[in-house]
Amino acid sequence: MIGYVLLVVIAVGLGTLVFTYLKIYLPNDKPVCPSNVAVSIEQSSCSNGIVKVQLMNRGLFNLDGTYIRIGEKDREFRELLNSENVRFTDYFDTKGLPPGNIWPRDGIPRSYDFTGDGSYILEVEPALFIDDEWVLCNEAIIKQDIECGIDYLWINIIKPGLIENQGDVPIEIEFDGLGTLSQCSYNITDTSGENLFGSEVNINDCDDNKHYNGIHNLNSGNYLINAHAEDVDGNKETKSEGFEVLQGEFILNSPTSNLYEYIDTVLDSNGNVLLDYDFNYLATSCRVELFDPFGISIQRINQCVYNYNMPPSFFDVDSKDGNYELDFTNRDNGALVFTTSFGVEVDPDFELSSSVRGPDECDIDLDYVIWERKYELLPEEDYECYIDHIFNGNGQGLYYITPCFESTSGTYNFEDLANGQHEFMGHVEDVDGRIGTDTLILDINGGVNCNDPDGGIEPTSYPT
């Protein structure tokens, strides 16, 4: 009897040792958020039932979304403000919020309904896709105290941020109040506190929900925008925001267009890159060279002077996708005074991703995003915008995407996909014959209910 008990004790002990060893030493394939992920709260406010938030990506990776929460300081539970959409949808064309960029993209803080009153904690948790899996970065959560209440007056300054060239600086201010506004004004001061205008700039037609836009020509330096408001009852409000203007040897401006994906700059409707610049004031002449993705000089201007008007045809780079380099050389001393690189992508693009819905691991959400670039996509009747579904090597059929133009996104919700290998191949083509594709392979190994090869969505038969 004692020997039997000893055998049981030894078996249990060995089992515990084996389990501990396997738990510690076997690799964990679950994606982990990188350590260099960081986000900051650039602007926040909470008044009159509205929380406003502006964020910046301070890390080294593109971010696909964030969870913005608010709650009382002494409670663990916090309400998710952006429950309707945690993705950075305004950055789909760059495949996430790039490092150093502001969200929302238009610079205007995003507004959320919240009826709390008092002291709260505002919390932001970044997230991103890793190997097509949605990963929350709980080690990168940031928190900030925020006061919520009723304001009789409020001012929101859309600060211009870091201006990379001296010149015209946009000023944008929002005024609002519970009563009737009687006066709105602002000034701009430098680091010494001197008012650059000498007095207040009064804003005409100052009424409730006033949105003011202005432009001022400023030299390099650090500045403060100081805005003031007053209503007919004598309530007053003041707010300030700082920004910096840098002196640059060149000012590079490129138009934005929804027809192109861009890396650092974009093409215009003729397939050119538009460039405006101020040349280094120390130089009296310059040489400009454009190098293609293979490092070959394809365009050159040997003489250019201050405020030279660059011909758009200089940047006719439609034929080759890739990274181009632009060099400005001071011809007075032969020194390379400025160089910049920009990427050009003309082909359309198709991107597939997926997420699991449900405990059986065979309820799948298949997400797709399509980008049109220089050329229009082929019309629907040409059947060139679709997802091909292949199950265990056998073609199931096509899912045609309609409408398919410019930037299109959507989701197919599959249920009870059959166990085995499912291959989804996205295909899009434009009128110039350029093609964008993407392939996503899913290995389903679920329960007995995972038995539908089409996942409840019957595809269209292949055209004959």
Name the residue type at position 149. Answer: G
- Domain at 307, CATH number: 2.60.40.1930
| Same-domain status, 185 and 207 | yes
Q: How far apart are CA 188 and CA 216, in angstroms?
A: 10
**Residue 356 falls inside a structural domain:** yes
Q: How far apart are CA 386 and CA 409, in angstroms?
A: 12
Phi, psi of 422 (to 5 degrees): -115, 125
Cα→Cα distances 210→150, 188, 205, 215, Å: 19, 19, 8, 17
| Same-domain status, 132 and 205 | no
pLDDT, mean of residues 123-139: 92
pLDDT, mean of residues 389-412: 90
Name the residue type at position 342. Answer: F
In this structure, the number of other CB atoms found within 10 A of the CB of residue 459 comes to 19
The answer to whether the beta carbons of residues 453 and 421 sit under 8 Å apart is: no
DSSP letter assigned to residue 197: T
pLDDT at 370 over 80: yes
Q: How far apart are CA 424 and CA 24, in angstroms?
A: 36
Paired tokens of 95: 């495949």
**Residue 22 falls inside a structural domain:** no
Query: In percent, how much of the chain has pLDDT > 70?
Result: 73
| Same-domain status, 75 and 107 | yes
Count of domains observed in the chain: 4
Q: Considering 130, 148, 166, which residue would you say is the last residue of a domain?
A: 148
How high does pLDDT run on average in the chain?
78
| Same-domain status, 190 and 136 | no
- Domain at 234, CATH number: 2.60.40.2550
pLDDT for res 269: 47
- Nearest 5°: the CA angle 89, 41, 206 is 85
Find the range with the poorest average confidence among 97-106, 316-325, 451-460. 316-325
| Same-domain status, 137 and 104 | yes
Q: How far apart are CA 234 and CA 153, in angstroms?
A: 10
The answer to whether the beta carbons of residues 431 and 378 sit under 8 Å apart is: yes
pLDDT for res 311: 60
**Residue 300 falls inside a structural domain:** yes
pLDDT at 68 over 90: yes
| Same-domain status, 324 and 367 | no
| Same-domain status, 338 and 359 | no
Paired tokens of 460: 């269209």
pLDDT of 422-459, one tens digit each? 999 999 998 888 888 999 999 999 889 999 999 999 99
pLDDT at 40 over 90: yes
Give burial (CB, 10 Å; 0-12/13-18/19+) of 107. Answer: middle
Query: In percent, how much of the chain has pLDDT > 90?
Result: 28
| Same-domain status, 110 and 163 | no
What is this structure's pTM?
Answer: 0.39
pLDDT for res 253: 36
pLDDT for res 7: 61
pLDDT band at 383 (very low <50, low <70, confident <90, very high): low
Q: How far apart are CA 93 and CA 371, in angstroms?
A: 7
Cα→Cα distances 106→54, 90, 91, 112, Å: 10, 9, 11, 17
**Residue 200 falls inside a structural domain:** yes
Strand boundaries in 308-401, DSSP class E:
322-330, 336-345, 349-356, 364-371, 385-391, 394-400
pLDDT, mean of residues 139-161: 80
pLDDT at 366 over 50: yes
pLDDT for res 278: 43
Q: Which helix (H) or strand (E) covers residue 71, if one does?
A: strand 65-72
Paired tokens of 284: 């009296």
pLDDT, mean of residues 321-345: 71
pLDDT for res 153: 74
pLDDT for res 177: 72
**Residue 12 falls inside a structural domain:** no
The answer to whether the beta carbons of residues 189 and 225 sit under 8 Å apart is: no
Residue in this structure with the two tokens 């032969």, named with its chain if needed: 334
Task: HSE, CB side, 13 Å, CA atoms: give it for residue 134.
Answer: 14
Paired tokens of 453: 């090869």
Q: Considering 148, 177, 210, which residue would you say is the last residue of a domain?
A: 148
Sign of CA dihedral 154, 160, 162, 167: negative
pLDDT band at 302 (very low <50, low <70, confident <90, very high): confident
Judging by DSSP bridges, how do beta strands 162-163 and 236-245 pair with one another? Answer: parallel
pLDDT at 282 over 70: no
**Residue 119 falls inside a structural domain:** yes
359 or 364: which leads in pLDDT = 364
pLDDT, mean of residues 251-277: 39
- Domain at 143, CATH number: 2.60.40.2060
371 or 406: which leads in pLDDT = 371
In this structure, the number of other CB atoms found within 10 A of the CB of residue 130 comes to 15
| Same-domain status, 358 and 328 | no
| Same-domain status, 91 and 168 | no
Judging by DSSP bridges, how do beta strands 65-72 and 221-231 pair with one another? Answer: unpaired
**Residue 177 falls inside a structural domain:** yes
pLDDT for res 347: 78
pLDDT, mean of residues 276-305: 66
Find the range with the poorest average confidence among 153-167, 174-188, 241-255, 333-347. 241-255
| Same-domain status, 139 and 194 | no
pLDDT band at 155 (very low <50, low <70, confident <90, very high): confident
pLDDT band at 420 (very low <50, low <70, confident <90, very high): very high
85 or 23: which leads in pLDDT = 85
**Residue 464 falls inside a structural domain:** no
Q: Considering 345, 373, 398, which residue would you say is the last residue of a domain?
A: 345
**Which of 20-34, 97-111, 424-438 ranks highest by mean pLDDT?**
424-438
pLDDT for res 163: 52
For residue 225, the enclosing domain spans 153-245
The answer to whether the beta carbons of residues 174 and 210 sit under 8 Å apart is: yes
Q: How far apart are CA 140 and CA 372, in angstroms?
A: 34
Closest by CA position to 59, among listed 124, 109, 144: 124
| Same-domain status, 49 and 134 | yes
pLDDT, mean of residues 373-380: 76
pLDDT for res 255: 33
pLDDT, mean of residues 127-141: 91
